[in-house]
Amino acid sequence: MSRHVKQLLCVLVVIGVMFSMVACSSSTEQSQETTTTTAAATTTTKAVTTTAGQTTTTAATTTQAVEENPFAEFFEITWIATITTDYVEGGFDEKMLEERYNIDLKPWAISTYDPEGIAMMLAAGDMPDISHLDHSPLGPPQLYEQGLTRLINIEMYKKYFPYYYELMLQNEPTSYIHNNCRNEDGSLSDNFYGISYVVDNKWYYNIPLMRYDWLENIGYSIDDSLLTPITLTDEKLGKYSGQIYLTSYIWSFEDMNDIFRAFTEDDPDGNGEDDTYGAVIFDHSFRSHWTDLWWGQFGVISSDGNFLYEDPVTGDIVPWYAYVGYRDYMKWAVEMRDKGYIRTLPEGFQSLAPQGSWYDNLLANWMTGKIGYFFCDMQYIGRPDFPEYSDRQPPQSIWLNAGDESATFVVWPVLGNAYGWEPNNKWGTRRYNLDAFGSGTFRTWLVGKQVSDEKLARVLTMWNDANTAALNDPFWSKVRFGIEGVHYTWSGEPWNSARIQTDATKIPPHYSRYGGFIGIFSTGGPDLFSHEAKSQITRRIYEEEWYKYYCIEPIKYWSSAYVPDDMMKEYNDYWANISGDINNIIADFRNRSWNGQISNYETEWEQYINRLYDAGLEKLVKDFYMSDQFAYYKTPDLTIIWPTIN
């Protein structure tokens, strides 16, 4: 197996959820030890010769330890973990696990995405042994308070799920904070409301995609040595193989502005008409992952208001709306919009997007083939399946819908930084998950109150075995991915390429049922074996560690992981009193900017900041954001834990 394979494959655990605000003593529930071995006595006969030359025999008893089967006790385990209700019990992976671990898995026909069904189940006092209830009306602390779930002592992790415990050690302190059932004095306890998801904190959501054929036409092509063509071999998109390029080259901020201009003015598609432009933008009030790349040119994140920054002008630690990078973003965005290089979604696109959401309108707009730059969803670039969704995404939406099958595209890490700073985590975008561990309804595995330590130990052992086995282990690879040749084939070298999924209608009936009981592990690390384009892009991201060099890190992050409970309460009370005035000031400046009513951004920004401080931001900064009690954000250990390949 090549060195490249061993360096690029990894699996992390999936596990996540809301922070617990409920205090309880660590002595509430203690772990019980489970005995797994016994001693069996055996008798042997030994000859003994006496001094008189007589030989006698005496019975000598020796004790030899005989290990008992650790799975001798049978368990029936009820389970909820899927978003559908059409799974028929007896899937091939279910049978494999049941036979190995002496269990009977009983999936309940309730979707994790069914709020009404989950609410009715909980109201009736029913709770499966193992579950994640994404749309539960109650969070993990409340489920425990209602007597529906049990606590998990850290000793259970140490003994039966050491893989998970090692990840806790690697990612402290937040790994201990998520789902922790606090002691009465507010300190961390040894008990947890549920098993937190471990999430991939090295991945980010949107990356730049641009028409490379247009770039060549306007004189912005790059050296071939810096371009890696993405290979596509699937039946649907295989004919477009080599038409997406991957590069680590980053155009400067000034070059990108000129590219947007040229995409608008220089007829990049060569049709002799003035019908193209650079990109789509939203007004200043629109904040999401989809606009992080725009804002990230100025060192600020749009999607997460809990990021705090050290302002280079005042030296204060401030939120996004008081950070100078936000001012510079607004100024740039309005200038580019007024020149027509970057435009808002045009009127009339409602008809192209029946649902009428901004997202539907955006995809419909991109699909016309008249735009050069896209801040696109990385996981859908070149994806051949899920047509009702992925066929609307670039680049395939342009190949399939705009009639431009010769179009070529290029993908790169982030947009250039407007200030000319060295990377050093000052520009780009944000890692999708800031902490390795999570909590809340969407990121917690729950354990029913009725589950004994012995039954829980069986489940934890099963999960531990799945994580510590070689990725291509004959047993676990089938449980995770299915059977090669039946459920999928490799697009290239096994374990160094993507899996091409077999059409569901072509899978034999006795193999078509799949329960996904080890799905807890399938999305915690980089998805290297999905469709081909994503596999190749992801391998590049992890090989070159884009998440270390192109993602903005907060200096502080406002959350219960870093803020003491009493400070958080005091802050919430104060914010309730001043938020109306603060938000009005933000909206006034934002709207005047978007409407072109600000002539001198530097002068009016100073007046805006003074108004914010007078309205209560000064106390927020001095008493909360810059308080020594509010810990600085600590970037978690971004080391990849590589699995073994046999």
* Residue 248, both tokens: 């680590």
DSSP-derived 3-state class of residue 253: helix
Q: What pLDDT, on the 0 to 100 scale, is given for residue 303?
A: 94
Q: Over the chain (646 residues), what is each successive 10-residue block's mean pLDDT?
A: 39 32 37 39 41 44 67 96 79 92 94 93 97 94 97 98 91 88 90 92 91 98 96 93 97 97 97 96 94 96 96 93 97 98 74 63 93 94 89 95 94 94 77 88 94 97 90 90 90 87 84 69 62 92 91 93 89 97 98 97 97 98 96 84 68
What Cα–Cα distance (Å) separates residue 313 from each residue in 80, 316, 319?
52, 8, 14
Q: What pLDDT, on the 0 to 100 scale, is given for residue 200?
A: 82
The alpha carbons of the chain give a radius of gyration, in whole angstroms, of 29
Considering only CA atoms, which of 214, 237, 205 is closest in space to residue 391? 237
Determine the angle formed by the axes of helices 601-612 and 565-594, rounding to 10 degrees.
Answer: 150
CA distance 240 to 372: 18
What Cα–Cα distance (Å) separates residue 597 from each residue in 282, 285, 328?
17, 16, 15
Instruction: Enter the DSSP assignment of 643.
Output: P
Q: What pLDDT, on the 0 to 100 scale, is given for residue 29?
A: 39
Torsion, CA 486, CA 490, CA 496, CA 497, rounded to 10: -130
Q: What pLDDT, on the 0 to 100 scale, is given for residue 38?
A: 41
What Cα–Cα distance (Å) separates residue 453 from each residue in 33, 69, 155, 449, 601?
8, 17, 11, 11, 63
Q: Over the stretch 88-130, which tens digit does the pLDDT of each residue have? A: 788 888 999 999 999 999 999 999 989 999 999 999 999 999 9
Considering only CA atoms, which of 67, 75, 74 is closest in space to residue 35? 67
Q: What pLDDT, on the 0 to 100 scale, is given for residue 1?
A: 45
Q: What pLDDT, on the 0 to 100 scale, is given for residue 601?
A: 97
Angle at 516 between CA 515 and CA 519, to 5 degrees: 165
CA distance 231 to 228: 9
Q: What pLDDT, on the 0 to 100 scale, is given for residue 67?
A: 66
Q: What pLDDT, on the 0 to 100 scale, is given for residue 65?
A: 61
Q: What pLDDT, on the 0 to 100 scale, is given for residue 439?
A: 87
Start-to-end CA distance of the chain, whole Å, equals: 8
- In the chain, what are the domains? 75-199+435-485+520-526 (3.40.190.10), 206-297+324-411 (no CATH), 563-625 (no CATH)
Q: What pLDDT, on the 0 to 100 scale, is given for residue 143?
A: 97
Q: What pLDDT, on the 0 to 100 scale, is given for residue 57?
A: 44
Q: What pLDDT, on the 0 to 100 scale, is given for residue 568?
A: 94
CA distance 153 to 520: 20
Q: Over the stretch 338-391, which tens digit does the pLDDT of each residue have? A: 999 999 987 544 444 445 588 888 999 999 999 999 999 998 999 998 888 899
